[in-house]
Amino acid sequence: MAIESACGVSPSQKTSQANHRVTWEGCSVLLDINDGDRLVFARLSSAATLKIGNKKCSLRPLIGCPFGSLFRVEMGANGSHLARCYSSCILAENAATMQDKDYLHPSSEMKDNRSLFDNNTAQSLSSEDIDAMKRLFDYICEAYFKKYPTRIGSLRFDALCLLLSMANVGAYSDVLVLDMVGGLLTGAVAERLGGTGYVCSTHFGTSRNPIDIVRMFNFSSEVNSRIVQATFTDLCIIRENDSTSFHQDLLKTEGDIKNTKSMDESIQETNVSSDRSCTSHEIFNAETRGQSSPQTDSNPPIEDDEGISVSSTTVKSISPGRQASSELVNSWKERGFSSLIVAAPEIEVGSLVQKLLPLLSYSAPFAIYHHCLQPLAACMHRLQASKMAISLQISEPWLREYQVLPSRTHPHMQMSAFGGYILSGIRICSDACNGSQQN
Amino acid sequence: MFPSDPSKRNSFQRRICDGDLVIVYERHDNMKAIKVKVGSDFQNRYGVFKHSDWIGKPFGSKVFSNKGGFVHLLFPTPELWTLVLSHRTQILYLADISFVISYLEIVPGCVVLESGTGSGSLTTSLARAVAPSGHVYTFDFHEQRAALAREDFIMNGLESFITVSVRDIQGEGFPDEFCRVVDSVFLDLPQPWLALPSAARMLKQDGVLCSFSPCIEQVQRSCETLRHNFTDVRTFEVLLRMYEIREGRMEVGRNGVPMVLKPHKKRQHLSSEGECEDEERPTIMAKPCNEARGHTGYLTFARLACT
Per-domain residue ranges of chain B: 17-76, 80-239+295-304
CA distances from A181 to A148, A152, A208, A229 (A): 11, 4, 12, 15
Is A268 a residue whose pLDDT tops 80?
Answer: no
The bridge status of strand A227-231 relative to strand A322-323 is parallel
Q: Which residue has the higher pLDDT, B94 or A296?
A: B94
Nearest CA in chain B to A35: B232
Is A303 a residue whose pLDDT tops 60?
Answer: no
Give the model confidence (pLDDT) of B135-164 as tens digits: 999 999 999 999 999 999 999 999 999 999
Size of interface A-B (CB pairs under 8 A): 275
Give the model confidence (pLDDT) of B170-226 as tens digits: 999 999 999 999 999 999 999 999 999 999 999 998 899 999 999 999 999 999 999
How many angstroms separate the first and last alpha carbons of chain B? 40
Q: Is B20 annotated as a binding residue?
A: no
3-state SS record for chain B: CCCCCHHHCCCCCCCCCCCCEEEEEEECCEEEEEECCCCCEEEECCEEEEHHHHCCCCCCCEEECCCCCEEEEECCCHHHHHHHCCCCCCCCCHHHHHHHHHHCCCCCCCEEEEECCCCCHHHHHHHHHHCCCCEEEEEECCHHHHHHHHHHHHHCCCCCCEEEEECCHHHHCCCHHHCCCEEEEEECCCCHHHCHHHHHHHEEEEEEEEEEECCHHHHHHHHHHHHHHEEEEEEEEEEEEEEEEEEEEEEECCCCCCEEEEECCCCCCCCCCCCCCCCEEEEEEEEECCCCCCCCCEEEEEEECCC
- How many CB atoms are located within 10 Å of the residue A277 CB? 8
Give the model confidence (pLDDT) of A93-126 as tens digits: 444 444 333 333 333 333 333 333 333 333 322 3
Give the model confidence (pLDDT) of B238-249 as tens digits: 999 999 999 887
Nearest CA in chain B to A197: B6
pLDDT of residue A239: 53
Euclidean distance between CA atoms B41 and B21, whole angstroms? 14
Contact call for residues B160 and B151 (beta carbons, < 8 A):
no
What confidence category does residue A218 fall into, taking pLDDT thresholds of 50, 70 and 90?
Answer: confident
Residues of A in contact with B238 (CB under 8 A): 158, 397-400
In our burial notation (b when 16+ CB lie closer than 10 A, e otherwise), range A120-147 reads eebeebbebbbbbbbbbbbbbbbbbbeb
For the domain spanning B80-239+295-304, the CATH number is 3.40.50.150
Is A15 a residue whose pLDDT tops 90?
Answer: no
pLDDT of residue A57: 85
Q: Is B188 annotated as a binding residue?
A: yes
pLDDT of residue A324: 93
Question: Average of pLDDT values for B109-122?
Answer: 96
pLDDT of residue A242: 47
Give the model confidence (pLDDT) of B279-291 as tens digits: 445 689 999 999 9
Nearest to A91 by CA among B174, B225, B230: B230
Is A232 a residue whose pLDDT tops 90?
Answer: yes
pLDDT of residue A279: 36
Euclidean distance between CA atoms B270 and A296, whole angstroms? 55
Q: Do A157 and B107 touch (CB under 8 A)?
A: no
Residues of B in contact with A172 (CB under 8 A): 2-3, 6, 9, 132
* Among A66-75, A182-191, A213-222, A264-273, the least confident range: A264-273
**Nearest-CA distance B88 → chain A (Å):** 23
E runs forming strands in A102-232: 129-134, 174-179, 198-203, 227-231
Is A29 a residue whose pLDDT tops 90?
Answer: no
Is A16 a residue whose pLDDT tops 50?
Answer: no
E strand or H helix at A122: helix A120-125
pLDDT of residue B212: 98
Contact call for residues A282 and A290 (beta carbons, < 8 A):
no
Q: Is B140 annotated as a binding residue?
A: yes
pLDDT of residue A398: 96
pLDDT of residue B42: 96
pLDDT of residue B264: 53
Q: Which residue has the higher pLDDT, B113 or A252?
A: B113
Give the model confidence (pLDDT) of A372-411 as tens digits: 999 999 999 999 999 999 999 999 999 999 999 999 999 9
Average pLDDT, chain A: 71
pTM score, two decimals?
0.79
Of the residues A192, A304, A383, A404, the best mutation for testing chain B's interface (the one with the most B CB atoms within 10 Å of its CB) is A404
Is A139 a residue whose pLDDT tops 50?
Answer: yes
Question: Average of pLDDT values for A267-283?
Answer: 33
pLDDT of residue B262: 60
Euclidean distance between CA atoms B98 and B120, whole angstroms? 15
Euclidean distance between CA atoms A16 and B214, whole angstroms? 37
pLDDT of residue A40: 72
pLDDT of residue A431: 67
Q: Do A397 and B307 touch (CB under 8 A)?
A: no
Question: Average of pLDDT values for B111-133?
Answer: 96
pLDDT of residue A233: 92
Average pLDDT, chain B: 90
Q: Does domain B17-76 have CATH number 3.40.50.300?
A: no
Nearest CA in chain A to B284: A378
pLDDT of residue A77: 80
**Nearest-CA distance A136 → chain B (Å):** 7
Query: Does residue B111 come out as left (phi exceeding 0), alpha (psi in the -120 to 50 range) or beta?
Result: beta
Contact call for residues A399 and A416 (beta carbons, < 8 A):
yes
Amino acid making up residue A5: S
pLDDT of residue B301: 97
pLDDT of residue B8: 74
